[in-house]
Structure 1
Amino acid sequence: MLLTFSMVNSLGSGTWIAPLSPFEARRFGQNPLVKGGRSIIAVSSPEYDVETRTLTVNYDGVLTLNIGEIEEAVLVDLNPQDVLKAQRQDTDVLHPSAADIDFIAACKSHLDEGMTRIIQQVLSGVRKHHDDTLIEGEGRKWIASPHNFMAITIQNRNKQFLVSVKARPEQKSFRHIHLKQSRPPYWEFHLNSPSQIEETIQAILDSANY
């Protein structure tokens, strides 16, 4: 059985945005998260028609990961069974969690695949310890909620991320990331290279334990 979404806009790399109410999103859920922003739905075998702006998917392969508050949903080409398996296991597979899919969709719309993969690897490391949701603020700045231990700004002009973390002066010695003082107790650094992934994860985890 097929299901067709209408008035769909592509964000590239298997991600789309479509009008969909929170009520409609509940039809496809199996204990989904209920957090703000857009609903997030995993779909399988998607076929997108650019001319008609329709996305046709396998009905049995639709799974709601998050029920939002607005009349819009992010549709992501992820096998729902793989998502459920990843939720049950500790895995390094880069299937973004429901807490991150809205953010990853924004990354794909502003940055290239390489930069998006870098931030996915960072979040994959962070999510092994913390599951705060990234909430969109102003100027493409996404803030960890409810504990506010990190903020990530998508800098589309410079094709990089600006990461903000809590840190003490004695904690700011890293080889690949260069922290600069922001509003105390926050420090900021740019993330634009795979060589920075490990230290970025550590800086964020240190911030969570500040």
Structure 2
Amino acid sequence: MKLTKIDHTANYCSDLLESFMLITFEETIELAKGVWLSKTNTSDLQILRSNGSRRAAKSVVVLENPEYSASKKRISANLESAYLINEGNDEHVILLESRAALGTFSLKTTAADKRDVPFIDSCKNLGLRSETIELITQFLNRLRAEGVEDELEEGKARKWIMRPNNFVTITPQTRNMCFRISVRETEVCHNTSKIDWKTGLPTYREFAFSELGQLEDAVAVALGSAKK
């Protein structure tokens, strides 16, 4: 990540120069429309604005009107428009265009399946952030769209289990603002790139679900677990 000072005239009829700082991320690849993966030192991100960022596996930065060059694998935006929403523990950082972030994390745009409403209400009562709840809502909706009919029932210690097949267990974690998801271990688990696996109960694997970039892998391993 680097910063560059840019000078430009205030408007077409003025000689007055204005300046702003341009933030640039190198080694950037596009994951989806408005979503990129890049690398940077976590300490460099401390210069960004933050509205109560939380700890997570990977850092997440929102950019307004970024310019991306696929050939140069580079993305740039005005420093003042960039802000940090996740503080990660490694060199990888997820970059979101502001319009994509709003579309992804706005609870107004995604309604939960009626079978999952009690779980979602429980998450709200626990005080989980709206963007965290939106992420799990999208995860569950994707499972429903794939034909999953199991009921999400509350068990012990805030665990919610897909029954009767018990192929997914979801535990809201208020301290880390994420979800602990447990699935049956299948071949799909060995073909993921966005999940940091932990050993669970025998024949099960667990991971912390907290980022948009994990959604596709999370859905894939859950469906793989359902079919085992």
Q: Distance in 1 between matches of 2:139 and 2:192?
A: 16
Answer yes or no: is 1:147 the counterpart of 2:165.
yes
| Aligned 1:55-204 pairs, distance under 5 A | 94-110=110-126, 111-128=128-145, 129-168=147-186, 171-204=189-222
Q: Distance in 2 between matches of 1:107 and 1:133?
A: 17
Contact preservation (8 Å) 2:185, 2:225 = yes
Contact preservation (8 Å) 2:162, 2:168 = yes
Moved over 6 A (4+): none
Contact preservation (8 Å) 2:188, 2:220 = no
Q: Distance in 1 between matches of 2:199 and 2:213?
A: 22
State which structure, 1 or 2, has the greater radius of gyration over its C-alpha atoms: 2
Q: Which blocks of at least 5 consecutive residues in structure 1 are unaligned?
A: 1-92
Secondary structure of the equivalent of 2:191?
Answer: coil
- List per-residue Cα deviations over 1:21-50 (Å, max 9, x = no partner): xxxxxxxxxxxxxxxxxxxxxxxxxxxxxx
Q: Distance in 2 between matches of 1:176 and 1:163?
A: 14
Q: Which blocks of at least 5 consecutive residues in structure 2 are unaligned?
A: 1-108
Secondary structure of the equivalent of 2:136?
Answer: helix
CA RMSD of the aligned region, Å?
1.5
Q: Distance in 1 between matches of 2:177 and 2:138?
A: 17
Secondary structure of the equivalent of 2:213?
Answer: helix
Overall identity of the aligned pairs, in %: 34
Deviation, structure 1 residue 169: 5.8
Distance 1:175 1:96, change over 3 A: same
Contact preservation (8 Å) 2:186, 2:225 = no
Amino acid at match of 2:142: G
Q: Distance in 1 between matches of 2:133 and 2:185?
A: 25
Deviation, structure 1 residue 106: 1.0
Q: Distance in 2 between matches of 1:170 and 1:123?
A: 18
